[in-house]
Amino acid sequence: MGLLNIIRRMHKRQKLSIREIARLTGVSRNTVTKHLAANTIEPKFATPERPSKIDPFADKLAGWLKTEGGKSRKQRLTCH
């Protein structure tokens, strides 16, 4: 369920003020007002898929975690 639907439900059904909705959702009052004034169902933008910076090293890291996980607590490598 999108944030816009949550904001509208709080305003229409629960009769909460804009300030209270902003406090509960963690967005600014201006954003709450903008969403209430909009006639759209959901914002039109979508977050594009972005590759992670550790994707090239994922196999190596998974191997390290697997080998270190099998060792006893005192023999594991740490960052210290």
% of residues, the chain, pLDDT over 90: 45
CA pair distance 37, 13, nearest whole angstrom: 16
Residue 22 belongs to a domain = yes
Q: In total, how many domains does the chain have?
A: 1
Question: Where residue 17 falls among pLDDT bands split at 50, 70, 90?
Answer: very high
Domain hosting 26: range is 3-37
Is the pLDDT at 28 greater than 90? The verdict is yes
pLDDT value at position 35? Answer: 87
Residue 47 belongs to a domain = no
- What is the pTM assigned to this prediction? 0.49
Q: What is the pLDDT of residues 39-73, one digit of tens each?
A: 776 666 777 888 999 999 999 999 988 888 888 88
Q: Say if CB 32 and CB 25 are below 8 A apart.
A: yes
Residue 33 belongs to a domain = yes
CA pair distance 71, 1, nearest whole angstrom: 43
